[in-house]
Amino acid sequence: LGLLTTTGCGEKFLEEAPRDQLTTQNFYRNETDAILATNAVYSQLSRKGQYNYSLWGIGDIMSDNSNTGGGGGGDGAEEIQLDQFNIPSSNPMTSALWAGCYVGIGTANLVIQKVPGITNMSPAIRTRCVGEAQFLRAKYYFDLVRCFGDVPLLTAPPASPADAAIPRTPAAKVYEQIISDLTAASGSLLGSYSGSDLGRATKWAAMGLLAKVQLTLGNKAEAARLAQLIIATGPHSLWANYGDNFKLENENGKESLFEVQFVYDPSQSYDFNHLGFAGNEFFAPRGQGLAPQGGYGFNIPEPNFVDGYEAGDRRQAVTIFKPGDPYPAGSTYPSQPAKLDGSPNGYNVRKWLVPKTVTNVWDSPLNFPVLRLSEIYLIAAEGLGATTDGFKYLNVVRRRAFGEDMLSTSPQPHDLNSSNTGDFSAAVLRERRYELAFEDDRWFDLKRTGKLLTNAHLISKGIKPFNVVLPIPQSERDANPNLTQNDGY
């Protein structure tokens, strides 16, 4: 009868923890947990909200480099909305970017909050994990702020969904956080990895991204300083041939500062969230049998882009198909026809094409570059401006494109100099357009240089002043009344 007291203390009696599931309460306890948590931060890179879908829609199709293509009719409706600047707040590509970045940031925040408190692990791995998370958090915020302007800035996991329903943070504040994260990461991350860690973020990746951020903010001197530091002290070097950058055997190669790791996914599935790159299938000439499903012919290079290649630029054959270009082995057709469904001029992106034998439905294994050394050269050039060194860095990239001696101290035929170049900035921007073509960069370049609204091609496509930022996803505004919409949407 005295049992009254034994069950009297209710709260204590009800203290129960799950026994058969991992939760935020019983995870983050050792080195394995820390590494697993960090790996998850990377995973968004290869998915829908980044390089597998959103970024080529925004970076390529929404720019003057290419248009939608595809099968016509309702095919590629979301790309067409971007392509023609008729962008609803429900556009799947912009919404996916928001989602992918914030999911990446959420996982990064957990690592940054939880991992420093794990005592049961190697200090070096602990530092690395936090550094990787900081680098990736900066990368995701960088994409958000460039696409949407002011965005909610969260640097710690919210306790409940309501805690995340904050107003938009001014872009300048977001940039401060990005710079702070990248500065920390470039101080703490390793310079290189080997073996099973190949592909993780290095200090050079963090420094390179920081240079790009500084350039975006107009801090040219700082961008140039960082880029030159990487060129001078980093372990990277340029491939002799431009095309070597986009080969399976050269993944995580000498020119690469950071790239998205894609892998052949054996599960036959039509999903942008698999581990392989869907662009192989989407960009391959439509119905020509170069990709497992025959190719969908999206992301069609614009005539204006194709016509802009200088004669002798070796990058053209690597980057695009033109009519008559012979097909690699595997196709039933000999060469690119004069015209294809969705591609009236017979142009297609070639850069990411992987032989059918090693790829699967929507799942190509070829990694995708985020930062290559050649871009660092171009950042250095842009940062330095029309100076001797500025021309020097720009010409290294050009010399490779034309098959000239990159290191020669004597002038080369295609070198630019102050006498043949009136507008140095325009020259660098043009060079970036061809060097980094279809690496999801063009729209961002036009935006940061203020050229979006003056670009004749984009004007012809109907760009409106408010299109310099993208619409905040409506579903997010439904959940958070504090989230204002960008003007015009």
Q: Which of residues 188-247 bind another protein (CB under 8 A)?
A: 195-200
- Give the range of 229-237, 261-269, 334-342, 375-383 binding another protein by CB under 8 A: 261-269
Q: Is 125 in the site for another protein (CB under 8 A)?
A: no
Q: Which is nearer to another protein, 38 or 336 (CB)?
A: 38
Dihedral sign (CA 233, 122, 178, 436): positive
Q: Which is nearer to another protein, 147 or 231 (CB)?
A: 147
- Taking CB under 8 A as the criterion, the residue among 40, 118, 125, 406 binding another protein is 40
Q: Is 107 in the site for another protein (CB under 8 A)?
A: yes
CA atoms within 13 A on the CB side of 126: 14
Tell me phi and psi for residue 199, to 5 degrees. Answer: 110, -15
Least Å distance between CB 476 and another protein? 6
Q: Is 330 in the site for another protein (CB under 8 A)?
A: no
Q: Which is nearer to another protein, 119 or 160 (CB)?
A: 160
Interatomic CA distance for residues 482 and 238, integer angstroms: 47
Q: Which is nearer to another protein, 158 or 488 (CB)?
A: 158
Tell me the DSSP string of 353-366.
---GGG-BTTBB--
- Give the range of 326-334, 337-345, 457-465, 475-483 binding another protein by CB under 8 A: 475-483
Query: Which pair of structure tokens corresponds to residue 104?
Result: 């990446």
Q: Is 131 in the site for another protein (CB under 8 A)?
A: no
Interatomic CA distance for residues 315 and 323, integer angstroms: 16
3-state secondary structure of 261: coil
Of 333, 343, 303, 289, which is closest to residue 71 (Cα–Cα)? 343
Q: Which is nearer to another protein, 22 or 124 (CB)?
A: 22
- Give the E-state strand segments of 179-271 in sequence order: 256-260
Least Å distance between CB 469 and another protein? 17
Interatomic CA distance for residues 255 and 245, integer angstroms: 7
Contacts of 278 (CB under 8 A, 6+ apart): 52, 53, 272, 362, 363, 364
* Total number of residues shown for the chain: 489
Least Å distance between CB 109 and another protein? 6
Q: Which is nearer to another protein, 264 or 402 (CB)?
A: 264
Least Å distance between CB 232 and another protein? 28
- Identify residues 356-395 at the interface with another protein (CB under 8 A): 358-359, 364-365, 367
Q: Is 39 in the site for another protein (CB under 8 A)?
A: yes
Q: Is 116 in the site for another protein (CB under 8 A)?
A: no
Least Å distance between CB 17 and another protein? 8
- Taking CB under 8 A as the criterion, the residue among 30, 454, 475, 485 binding another protein is 475
Least Å distance between CB 9 and another protein? 8
- Identify residues 145-184 at the interface with another protein (CB under 8 A): 152, 154, 157-161, 164-166
Angle at 473 between CA 470 and CA 478, to 5 degrees: 145
Interatomic CA distance for residues 347 and 140, integer angstroms: 32
- Give the range of 9-17, 226-234, 236-244, 391-399 binding another protein by CB under 8 A: 9-17
Contacts of 67 (CB under 8 A, 6+ apart): 61, 83, 300, 302
Query: Which pair of structure tokens corresponds to residue 224?
Result: 């140039």
Contacts of 214 (CB under 8 A, 6+ apart): 179, 220, 222, 223, 226, 383
Binding mask 65-104 for another protein (x = CB under 8 A): ---------------------------------xx--xxx
